[in-house]
Amino acid sequence: MLVLLTGMLLAVPGTTQLTADLVLTNQPGTVFMRWEQGERVKVASVDTARRGEPIATLLMFSGCGRNKQGNCDVRMDIVVLDPAGSVYGESKNIEVWVERAAPAAGATQLAVGYMMIRIEPKDPAGQYRVKAHINDHVSGVVLDRQASFEVPPPKPGDSAEWPADRPKPNLSGFWKDHCEDAFGLKIESAGGDLYSVSFCGPGGCFEPGTYRPNSPIFGDQAYRVTDGDALEVLGGDGFSTYYRCAAPSAK
């Protein structure tokens, strides 16, 4: 599955002439947060993709041709090839930096456009290649960049489905990544087969249905139920594991 998203980010120091690096990360939430806060971001490409966990294709570039108004016009096409060499997905004319003032001389910029890749349980194992064709429509410079990642064969934990021969545990309760934390998730019945999932901290909990949509959890691609006392929840940086913990003491 491929999803094209865009977002404005800030610049950090780098070089001048148009250069570019294609980076694949399974922690886009952290990257975007730190970048927007003006922090230096060091991103290492992932080499293995977990099924169901999004991977962001980010382009870091430096410099660009400037038109009479001092603005740039840099775009790119991205294609993803599966292990057989067939097109798994593609998107054309993605904005890198269009009708925007050129980054400061000696600055590295995160492209406005990026693509999200998510490998589904049914997709083949093997090496996936991501190719970016970058075109500076002002200077005429054209760059091609490529990155790849491996997808292991499917495992039981890759599926959101619960085994049909096992009774589903009741997931209502408090869940944390460490039970001693003062924050975590409160899961409650929302009627029928649905649960509400609310974030709770020292100040209280979100109202049911406002933090995350009500969900059956079992079969929802945003969750992986390991057993009655452990589940994984998909967030901005992939899956995080939560454990069932005792209810907070009343104050």
Residues 227, 129: one domain? no
Residues 95, 26: one domain? yes
Strands 126-136 and 71-81: antiparallel
Residues 46, 149: one domain? yes
DSSP, collapsed to helix, strand or coil, labels residue 28 as: helix
**Does residue 160 lie within any of the structural domains?**
no
* Domain boundaries, position 210: 166-245
Residues 149, 130: one domain? yes
Residues 97, 32: one domain? yes
CA–CA gap between residue 143 and residue 131 (Å, rounded): 11
CATH number of 121's domain: 2.60.40.3880
Of the three residues 97, 128, 155, the one that is the final residue of a domain is 155
Of the three residues 95, 128, 155, the one that is the final residue of a domain is 155
**Does residue 161 lie within any of the structural domains?**
no
Residues 174, 115: one domain? no
What's the pTM value of the predicted model, to 2 decimals?
Answer: 0.75
**Does residue 34 lie within any of the structural domains?**
yes
Residues 32, 146: one domain? yes
**Does residue 25 lie within any of the structural domains?**
yes
The pLDDT score that the predictor gives to residue 236 is 78
Q: Are 243 and 180 within 8 A, CB to CB?
A: no
What's the total number of domains in the chain?
2
CA–CA gap between residue 63 and residue 71 (Å, rounded): 11
**Does residue 15 lie within any of the structural domains?**
yes
Residues 89, 172: one domain? no
Closest CA to 62 of 104, 99, 94, 109: 109
**Does residue 185 lie within any of the structural domains?**
yes
**Does residue 250 lie within any of the structural domains?**
no
Residues 141, 183: one domain? no
The pLDDT score that the predictor gives to residue 10 is 36
Give the pLDDT confidence of 73-85 residue by residue, as tens digits.
999 999 999 999 9
Residues 115, 196: one domain? no
Per-residue pLDDT of the chain (251 residues; tens, 9 = 90+): 444 333 333 333 334 578 999 999 988 888 887 878 777 777 778 899 999 888 999 999 999 999 999 899 999 999 999 999 999 999 999 999 999 998 888 788 899 999 999 998 899 999 999 999 999 999 999 999 999 999 999 887 788 889 889 999 999 999 999 999 999 999 999 999 999 999 999 889 999 999 999 999 999 989 999 889 999 998 878 888 999 998 765 54
Of the three residues 124, 155, 186, the one that is the final residue of a domain is 155
Give the pLDDT confidence of 102-134 residue by residue, as tens digits.
888 878 889 999 999 999 889 999 999 999 999
Residues 151, 170: one domain? no
Q: What is the 3-state secondary structure (H, E, C) of 59-118?
A: EEEECCCCCCCCEEEEEEEEEEECCCCCEEEEEEEEEEEEEEECCCCCEEEECCEEEEEC
